[in-house]
Amino acid sequence: MGARHRIGALSVAVVAATGVVLSPATASATHPAPGRTPLATGYGGAVVSDTVESTQAGLAVLRRGGTAADAAVAVAATLGVTDPFVAGLGGGGYFVHYDARTGRVSTIDGRETTPRAGDDKMFIDPATGQPYPFATAVTSGLSVGVPGMLATWERALKKWGRFSLADTLRPAIDVADRGYPLTPALRGQIVSNEARLKQFTSSVELFLPGGSVPAVGAVLRNPDLAATYREIARTGTRAFYGGAVGRDVAEATQNPPLAPDATITPPKGRMTVADLKAYKTIDQAPTHMRYRGLDVYGMAPSSSGGITVGEALNILETSDLGGLDRTQALHRYLEASKLAFADRGRYIGDPRFVDVPQRALLSDAFAASRACLIDPTRVIPAPAAPGNPAAPGSCTPAKGTEAPDNEVHTNHFVVSDARGNVVSYTNTIEQLGGSAIVVPDRGFLLNNELTDFNFAPTQGTAPDPNLPAAGKRPRSSMSPTIVLKDGRPWLALGSPGGSTIITTVLQILVNRIDLGMSLPDALAAPRASQRNTAATTAEPAFISAAGGLTALGHAFTPQAEIGVAAAIEFTGHGKLLAVGEPTRRGGTSAGVVFPTR
């Protein structure tokens, strides 16, 4: 395997890119590790996630008799090792669960919260009276919200698990100890964050051993994270929420370990150990709406995902998309998304701080008032104005205000078990690399979730629902979704991608339900994301086939990739179709417990 050396918290051994380092605890001769394949069919449970090691961890738990919730925690913990720039203990997320015994869909809001010292002016630079530049705010302790990831795992296991937290952390500990090969995708993330990582000594030690980016195929170990997981396994989540780990987290936000040659002076964070002790997840009802006879369940606020996807589907249900040509079907998809995003910006925030008219936003009457704005011959000028869900009004388009879009990236995976339970779980540290601050000697990055707040009011004379406040959860676009057909699971899906998450989930649903695509084709199809802006962000393959749309007035801004979706389709008689990405982010990993051809 080559010479191995320890530099800071990272041990690197150069091996061939195919030399995946696995352990007896998570692989065996009878159940070989799944490769990086985007498609798997079979029985007994399924996992689709970003990395081979995390998919393998989930399948290993399922084979031991674990539930979908048990496997989901194992997947999430392992992603904290192998996908550290978008997942891990320093973040949070939303957990959507279908319980086969009761037939109910439930959710856990594990979103990060604002420290008690936060307020609506926390992102205003006192030296200038103006909002901090986004780049300044991100790479600082000020951007770090109180992490909800570990509390979500604990809550999910208590509600739906069979195994202990210690049991579900074992695969991740093993991978962190033994190592995993650096993929081109992860290396690219390190390269794109190199300048930020170099600002902090702990981040250099973990990701830039010897001061440079490791080569693809280098085996990365993270003994500090393994030790942190062991401490949590031994002493429970209190190690994080108030104990030794928590003290290190608070210290890193207030006094980041700046490198001697750092070129930034970041604003200090406000998180304390008391904030960590006070953190609580929230059990809440999912969003629910009917679409073409299907029951679509999503995440309610503090996420905007469930409402915005649901409103757009309600608007689209007023048209027979399947009976339209491709141009008209996609035109309506883009316009419905534009209108739903206008309403998202105006009305959706943390419901413990703002009055979110969820029922009205998801009503058929409001959808009809928005659908009538869609002209089949031309685009609605953007930014479109929000509607009034309390008094649906005129069918004359009005000009709105364009809101900032600070969300960047996340991580999504799906799991099912042999009992029929299903998990759709989106978790994140927000931007690729989060705040870029690795907690010293703990092996994980801290989030920058608080930059999902608007730094200053964005809604003109109307109240802005997404300004920071003490204890408040920033608005998110994460959209973990479960779709039931005749009361039983049919689809589970979601995606990373900041605010493009909403449009990715929406487009996959339209592709599968209305346009008749198979699930693999629905995920692989070129994507476009209209978020109430003058130009629609789109992948090059979408733009190249968009002549009919440009004739209607659509303009496009190219983006190489949009989203990294994961989905499971339940095809009947217990058979599963697990689908990931064939090419985006280098392809993702799908696996089933008992594969079939």
Q: Which residues are catalytic?
A: 410
Kindly give the pairing relationship between strand 555-558 and strand 535-538: parallel
C-beta of residue 306 within 8 angstroms of C-beta of residue 181:
no
Letter for the amino acid at 443? G
Beta-strand runs (E) in 309-449 = 411-417, 422-428
Contacts of 165 (CB under 8 A, 6+ apart): 73, 153, 154, 157, 232, 233, 236, 237
* DSSP 8-class letter at 179: -
Cα 426 from Cα 438, distance rounded (Å): 21
- How many CB atoms sit inside 10 A of residue 133's CB? 10
* DSSP 8-class letter at 476: B
Position of tokens 């069918």? 395
Position of tokens 């750092």? 262
Report the candidate in 454, 541, 478, 440 with the shortest Cα–Cα distance to residue 201.
440
Q: Would you give the end-to-end CA distance of the chain in angstroms?
A: 34
C-beta of residue 373 within 8 angstroms of C-beta of residue 41:
no
Report the candidate in 234, 233, 209 with the shortest Cα–Cα distance to residue 221.
209
| Phi, psi of 213, rounded to the nearest 5 degrees | -80, 130
| Phi, psi of 181, rounded to the nearest 5 degrees | -80, 140
**Ordered strands of the 4-7 beta sheet:** 4-7, 10-14, 218-221, 180-181
Sign of CA dihedral 518, 520, 526, 529: positive
Cα 145 from Cα 289, distance rounded (Å): 31
Burial of residue 37, with CB atoms counted within 10 A of its CB: 0-12 exposed, 13-18 middle, 19 or more buried = middle
Kindly give the pairing relationship between strand 39-49 and strand 589-595: antiparallel
Q: Which residues on adjacent β-strands are paired with residue 290? A: 295
C-beta of residue 253 within 8 angstroms of C-beta of residue 210:
no
Cα 476 from Cα 350, distance rounded (Å): 9
Report the candidate in 474, 460, 430, 419 with the shortest Cα–Cα distance to residue 118.
474
Structure token digits, residue 244: 């030794």
CA distances from residue 66 to 72, 108, 163, 441, 509 in whole angstroms, order as listed:
10, 19, 7, 31, 29
Report the candidate in 476, 404, 407 with the shortest Cα–Cα distance to residue 113.
476
